[in-house]
Amino acid sequence: MTRVVVADDQEMVRDGLAAILDTEPDIEVVGTAADGEAAVEVARRELPDVVVMDVRMPAMDGIEATGLITDAGLARVLVLTTFDLDEYVYQAVRAGASGFLLKDAPRQRLADAIRSVARGDMLVDPVVTRRLVERFAVSRSRGTDSRLDILTARERDVLVEIGRGLSNGEIAARLYVGEATVKTHVSAVLRKLDLRDRVQAVILAYETGLVSQDE
């Protein structure tokens, strides 16, 4: 059972998300919060697997709350965002969020995202990925980049799929390998390239030309 806390300052949104998630047989909503301070308190009390975090909230916003929750190791954080919050998404990356999803995503996509983040995958909605890269990966190269020479051919393949926003399970299916093998390659890519997380890997994939905005 994946234990979840939902944080959103809009009561209808908060209750709606909780109701949707409670219909999933393997997800249990163990708490809700109307602002960042409450989200941290509930996470500290309940120790959920995932906090579904809105960004713009009173008292303490979702960025600061994400940093406090992840720094303390209380839970993983899945940030819900909209198109006009790119700057906040970038800040959430730096704060340690494990995933990003658009608020208008289908309900099943939300449930799957929570499961993915709970498993330890870094999940970035492909649309959010593209907007992040368009705004922040401005110095892209289209030629061979020496930073990638340290990677094996298979590790490069995995980096390409990370850049496309795929989860470990999706990469495994795409490359016809086991998910455990993908996890090993992902760890090697992050270690060799001195990257903190998958979002940094996504941006590097675009910067080096392994993935283009047109894909």
At 87, the pLDDT band (50, 70, 90 cuts) reads low
Using a 10 angstrom Cβ sphere, with 0-12 exposed, 13-18 middle and 19 or more buried, the burial of residue 11 is exposed
At 116, the pLDDT band (50, 70, 90 cuts) reads confident
Lowest mean pLDDT among 80-94, 121-135, 186-200: 121-135
- Is the torsion defined by CA of 206, 209, 211, 214 positive or negative? positive
- Picking from 13, 109, 16, the residue whose alpha carbon sits closest to that of residue 56 is 13
Q: What residues does each domain of the chain span?
A: 2-134, 140-207
Q: What is the rounded average pLDDT of the residues 78-94?
A: 71
Task: State the chain's mean pLDDT as an integer.
Answer: 85
**What does the DSSP assignment read for the chain?**
-EEEEEE-S-HHHHHHHHHHHHTSTTEEEEEEESSHHHHHHHHHHH--SEEEE-SS-SSS-HHHHHHHHHHTTS-EEEEEE-GGGHHHHHHHHHHT--EEEETTS-HHHHHHHHHHHHHT--EE-HHHHHHHHHHH--S---S--GGGTTS-HHHHHHHHHHHTT--HHHHHHHHTS-HHHHHHHHHHHHHHTT-SSHHHHHHHHHHTTSS-TT-
* Domain 2-134: top CATH class: alpha beta
Q: How far is CA 209 from the centre of its chain?
A: 22
User: What gap in Å lies between CA 141 and CA 158, rounded to an integer?
Assistant: 19
Residue 37 one-letter amino acid = E
Q: What would the pLDDT profile of 134-164 be if each residue is shown by its tens digit? A: 665 554 444 456 788 999 999 999 999 988 8
- For helices 86-95 and 126-136, angle between their N-to-C axes, nearest 10 degrees: 90
Q: What would the pLDDT profile of 9-25 be if each residue is shown by its tens digit? A: 999 999 999 999 999 99
- Picking from 26, 27, 92, 79, the residue whose alpha carbon sits closest to that of residue 53 is 79
pLDDT of res. 143: 47
Q: What would the pLDDT profile of 35-60 be if each residue is shown by its tens digit? A: 999 999 999 999 999 999 998 888 89
CATH 1.10.3720.10 for domain 140-207:
no
At 98, the pLDDT band (50, 70, 90 cuts) reads confident
pLDDT of res. 85: 56
Q: Are strands 76-81 and 123-124 parallel, antiparallel or unpaired?
A: unpaired
Q: Which residue has the higher pLDDT, 155 or 195?
A: 155
What percent of the chain is modeled with pLDDT above 90? 52
Whether the pLDDT of residue 65 is over 50: the answer is yes
pLDDT of res. 166: 84
Q: Are strands 2-7 and 27-33 parallel, antiparallel or unpaired?
A: parallel
At 80, the pLDDT band (50, 70, 90 cuts) reads confident
CB atoms within 10 A of CB 115: 19
Whether the pLDDT of residue 102 is over 90: the answer is no
Same topology between domain 2-134 and domain 140-207: no
Q: What is the rounded average pLDDT of the residues 188-204?
A: 85
